[in-house]
Amino acid sequence: MSGAPDAGSIAPPAAARTATVILFDIDGTLVLTGGAGGRAMTRAFEELFAVPDAFRGIPMPGRTDPLILADAAARAGVDLAPEVHDRFKARYHEILRAEVPVGGPRYGVMPGVRPLLETLQQRDDVTLALLTGNYEAAARIKLEHFDLWRYFGFGAFGDEAADRNALVPLALERTRQRGRPQVTAADLLIVGDTPLDVACARAGGARVVAVATGSHGVEELAACAPDLVLADLSDPTALLDLLAR
Ligand SMILES: [Mg+2]
């Protein structure tokens, strides 16, 4: 964040001058769960609505849980009244808790994530938070399994908006409520693995780092013009440089 040209003479503390809220996506960015989310949604849907394989062909990466569910429900002719949605979520989360430890072909904490979070957690000019299409309970199940939940102070989750773009203003509002009334969207840095992560950052006025550990490659992400594209987070030098700018 740049201040007035002569602001340097005031010499504010580093935390006040450059504090960045880094908003991490989960799936494909922090972790991959080997398809546990898709399996758990599929089983919960079949149990509740007697429709097998309800999510086949429905795109998931970068999209919010309620939007994914709404697509499946519309195709199956299921009326998603709020109490039905709540029942689905409850059963989905029960199954997810059992499915996440199972593993799969693409599974685990993404390269460099844990040391990066350790590094960022030490800094007083960085706040770590989540911005994810996952329902909050699903986010917690996935991240607690890999012992990553504890790094994040708050988040904006799929429960709160089916439209991912609406999660950025929510994260901003939450930051203000947590003692940073002056924070602006330019102080937010989103880290995500899909063009939809880049799009939500752009829509909300936030900066964005795209990381190609999920379902999209470096070239595809670069075409969305994020502030930075990384193959993975194993060398975070460029990301840390971005924080200083
Ligand atoms: Mg993702």
| pLDDT at residue 245 in the model | 87
Q: How far is the CA of 50 from the centre of ligand 1 (A)?
A: 29
Query: Cβ(25)–Cβ(188) under 8 Å?
Result: no
SS in 3 state form for 197-238?
Answer: HHHHHHHHCCEEEEECCCCCCHHHHHCCCCCEEECCCCCCHH
Q: How far is the CA of 212 from the centre of ligand 1 (A)?
A: 10
Per-residue pLDDT of the chain (245 residues; tens, 9 = 90+): 444 444 444 444 544 445 999 999 999 999 999 999 999 999 999 999 999 999 999 999 999 999 999 999 999 999 999 999 999 999 999 999 999 999 998 999 999 999 999 999 999 999 999 999 999 999 999 999 999 999 999 999 999 999 999 999 999 999 999 999 999 999 999 999 999 999 999 999 999 999 999 999 999 999 999 999 999 999 999 999 999 98
Beta bridge partners of 155: 130
Q: How far is the CA of 216 from the centre of ligand 1 (A)?
A: 10
Q: How far is the CA of 9 from the centre of ligand 1 (A)?
A: 41
Q: How far is the CA of 205 from the centre of ligand 1 (A)?
A: 19
DSSP state of 27: B
Q: How far is the CA of 8 from the centre of ligand 1 (A)?
A: 38
Query: Cβ(126)–Cβ(19) under 8 Å?
Result: yes
Q: How far is the CA of 5 from the centre of ligand 1 (A)?
A: 38
For residue 134, give every residue at least 6 positions away whose Cβ sits within 8 Å of its Cβ, in sequence order, or none. Answer: 26, 27, 37, 65, 142, 157, 158
Q: How far is the CA of 26 from the centre of ligand 1 (A)?
A: 6
Sign of the four-CA dihedral 24, 27, 29, 30: positive
DSSP state of 163: S
* 143 token code pair: 């991240």
Q: How far is the CA of 150 from the centre of ligand 1 (A)?
A: 19
Which of 113, 173, 185, 178 has its CA nearest to residue 146? Answer: 113
Q: How far is the CA of 156 from the centre of ligand 1 (A)?
A: 14
| pLDDT at residue 14 in the model | 46
